[in-house]
A and B are shown apart, each in its own frame.
Chain A
Amino acid sequence: MADVVVERGRVARATGARKGKSLRNALGRKSTVAFFLTLPLILLIALLVLYPAFYSLYLATLNKAMTKFVGLGNFTFLFKRETFWMVVQQSCIFAITAVIFKALIGFIVAHFVHNIPGKKQRKWRGMLLVPWVIPPAMSTLAWLWLFDPSYSAFNYTLSFFGVGPIPWLGDTFWARFSVILVNVWYGAPFFLIMYLAALKSVPDQLYEAAAIDGANWWQKIWHITLPMMRNIIAITTLFSLIVTFANFDIVRILTSGGPLDTTHLFATWAFQVGIQSSDIPLGACVSLFMVPILAVAAIFILRDVTKRGNEA
């Protein structure tokens, strides 16, 4: 009996010591420290992103009066709505066109800025970032005045050349053009700065070697610059695609989705259906449709990035 007690005490002490040691080890590990340091951010994301995301999933399964569970009823209802498919199509047109132009403009301007020497480059970088640092709601208001039906500054200027007046926001084509233009104006500096950073990391020796081999500027871009920037281009495109798809302020301020709903995006239509028409479950449902579309885009783009990472 006594032996057993002693044995137990020893075992218990040994376990306690091991526990203390493993806790010290765990706390000493870099990954644990990193986890604790990021914990406030994780909690913040859980509170501000995960909770609303799951709550909107829950809302999307309720009926209009929010009194009954309807499962996927709201989604099947949306599939039958003509306006919904128009919004899907418009969101794709808006996001893809805007991202292509932003990437193209960002790429070209990044090259120009990269070739400006020293101090001057800093000034240009600062100036070109201005559209991106102004809150978009404010800058879009300025654009609204430029497109204003009665006092458009663009139409006033065009009138000197005998052109116009152009119904910037009243005609489907021009309204789509206008919202995309403003989005490109706002978002291109982000591409510029990312591409500029990528350009600076391309070793000069590669260009020198290419020059010795007799490569022209296009061959340098195609065989050196673009391959070296591939990952940055992919990640920037994905990030911008997500943000552009979810755009709200530009369309809301410029057209409110009009004329005839032809500029609505998921977010603006979700707002109109959910808040203005008091159909919160359907509004939640509309906004959730962005998730599968963006998830597919993210899988394709990021898969490519991982592949290239492995190649490296």
Chain B
Amino acid sequence: MSRKTLTRRQFVAATAMSSAALITAPYVRGAYAAGKLSIGFWDHWVPGANKASTDLVNEWAAKEKVEVSIDYITSNNKKLELTAAAEAQAKSGHDILQMPSWWPQAYAENLEPLNDIMEPLLKQNGEVNGTVKYLGQSGGKWLATPATPGSQIKGPCSRIDLMKKHAGIDVQEMYPAGGPPKVENWTMETFLKAAEACHKAGFAFGIGLGETTDSVDTAGAIFQSFGAELVNAKGDITVKTDQVRQAMEFYKKLIAFLPPDAPSWDDASNNKWLISGRGAMILNPPSAWAVAKRDAPQVAEQCWTHGFPSGPKGRFAPYLPYFWGVWSFGKNKEAAKSLLVHLSSPSSIEKFVAVSGGYDLPAYANMSKFPTWAEEGPPKGTLFHYPDPYKHQTLSIAASPAPPKIAQQIYFQATLTKMALRFARGETMEQALAWAEGECEGFMRS
């Protein structure tokens, strides 16, 4: 058996030639030359809406030569929040994760700053409102970019016929399709009178008093319209103020006109209330109307989504933005940023709005007048005022302007609805306020 031996001289020559060849060879760009990207998107309620995200991502991936994998994670039973918590703890997971409103602040230390992409996006798409900045920015650093899918305003969705008949309010006249709102008389007092009239007629407003987000968001907007803050922007507890007392008195009156089982409502209860034809109004994004179109078309034809009533301190509407965050421990941050820019382009945003039937709301100022909202129906124009095209209300989130890490606890412990319910169920004002103050003291932990 002969064996050819390699001399030291031959080995050195071969190594040198191979190295030279490797260095001088042209860069061959393979199908996935720019690496892999793993994405966790929120699993959309609207059938077919996920496909728009998939198509947009694939379109970008083909252009950028990136291998992508997408997981659609439901927010049912807080699966999305659990995923975020697990990934932040493990410092491993998706490169991009879609997060509900409070999560960028909760995981600020684990998120890649996105100022480099947000600044051009703001120039391109217009400014974002104060709530998006409050939730998405920390110390001048953008923690995440606002995501169109999932972002929503939980304004009133009224029954045209029932409001006209029992409360004497023509919601279409107040919020005409294609025109600016005429809302001089649309105040908290009018709202309360309408709630009373509809309650007497057997069509109570479907407003929850539970611990889930719909109940808390409504309470937040009502408290804010009275200027009531449990904790102010500096982090001081401001529970025992006249504004909070006024808001509590208002809520107590309102609770008397709500369904008796409202304290046990979850986020599906108000939808069912409207779709079953038992209520004259709910405070919700147009998902309930969208389901009614399929399951109860006679109800859907009478639905009109519009703005919130104003209180002594202004007109506030509950707004819940979603965000796309890039983990700082992600493996392909540059590709992630590039994808977020693509998903935030005007054409992508328009696509998100169209496939969601107008449910998804862009955060950017120049993106609130797409044709979808004007054309959706029946009745035609029912969603025209959903994105607040005339900017006549402040889009806000409950518990703001408290520092976000405190506000998040006020929000998820449902302190606002609980204190209002305690007062309505027989506790004195001072007892209910003392309880809320104690809770807020507990939320001050750092």
Partner of A260, one of B82, B212, B409, B421: B421
Name B258-300 residues within 8 Å CB distance of A: 259-266, 269, 272-273, 276, 278
Cα distance A63–B445 in the bound complex, in angstroms: 8
Contact: B446 with A150, CB < 8 Å?
A: no
Residue A252 is within 8 A (CB to CB) of chain B in the complex? yes
Contact: A149 with B211, CB < 8 Å?
A: no
Minimum Cβ distance to chain B for residue A163 (Å): 15
Residue A169 is within 8 A (CB to CB) of chain B in the complex? yes
Residue A175 is within 8 A (CB to CB) of chain B in the complex? yes
Name B38-56 residues within 8 Å CB distance of A: none
Contact: A278 with B408, CB < 8 Å?
A: yes
Q: 1/0 contact trace for A216-256 toward B, CB 8 Å? A: 00000000000000000000000000000000000010011
Which stretch in A4-12, A13-21, A269-277 binds the other chain? A269-277
Residue B78 is within 8 A (CB to CB) of chain A in the complex? yes
Minimum Cβ distance to chain B for residue A81 (Å): 6
Partner of B264, one of A165, A255, A261: A255
Contact: B276 with A259, CB < 8 Å?
A: no
Contact flag A258-B264 (CB < 8 Å), given A63-B445, A278-B408: yes
Partner of A81, one of B77, B209, B212, B442: B442
Question: Residues of B contacting A167 with CB < 8 Å?
Answer: 260-261, 263-264
Minimum Cβ distance to chain B for residue A146 (Å): 13
Contact: A149 with B446, CB < 8 Å?
A: no
Contact: B82 with A256, CB < 8 Å?
A: no
Minimum Cβ distance to chain A for residue B95 (Å): 22
Contact flag A276-B405 (CB < 8 Å), given A82-B438, A257-B211, A258-B211: no
Interface size class of B (residues with CB under 8 A): 35 or more
Interface size of A in residues (CB-CB distance below 8 Å):
35
Cα distance A150–B260 in the bound complex, in angstroms: 10
Minimum Cβ distance to chain A for residue B205 (Å): 14
Residue B422 is within 8 A (CB to CB) of chain A in the complex? yes
Cα distance A277–B78 in the bound complex, in angstroms: 12
Residue A114 is within 8 A (CB to CB) of chain B in the complex? no
Cα distance A63–B444 in the bound complex, in angstroms: 12
Cα distance A275–B269 in the bound complex, in angstroms: 23
Name B146-171 residues within 8 Å CB distance of A: none
Minimum Cβ distance to chain B for residue A172 (Å): 9
Q: 1/0 contact trace for A55-69 toward B, CB 8 Å? A: 000000001110000
Contact: A260 with B442, CB < 8 Å?
A: no
Contact: A149 with B421, CB < 8 Å?
A: no
Minimum Cβ distance to chain A for residue B81 (Å): 6
Partner of B269, one of A149, A255, A277: A149
Cα distance A151–B271 in the bound complex, in angstroms: 12
Q: 1/0 contact trace for A264-289 toward B, CB 8 Å? A: 00000001100111111010000000
26 A/B residue pairs, CB under 8 Å, sorted by A: A63-B445, A63-B446, A149-B264, A149-B269, A150-B261, A150-B272, A150-B278, A167-B264, A169-B264, A170-B262, A170-B265, A171-B263, A252-B77, A256-B266, A259-B209, A259-B210, A260-B421, A275-B78, A275-B82, A276-B78, A276-B81, A277-B412, A277-B413, A278-B85, A278-B106, A279-B445
List 3 tightest A-B contacts by C-beta distance, closest first.
A169-B264, A170-B264, A170-B261
Instruction: Known pairs A175-B264, A259-B263; list 14 more (Cβ under 8 Å).
Output: A77-B442, A82-B435, A149-B261, A149-B265, A167-B260, A167-B261, A168-B264, A258-B210, A258-B263, A260-B422, A271-B78, A276-B81, A276-B412, A278-B408
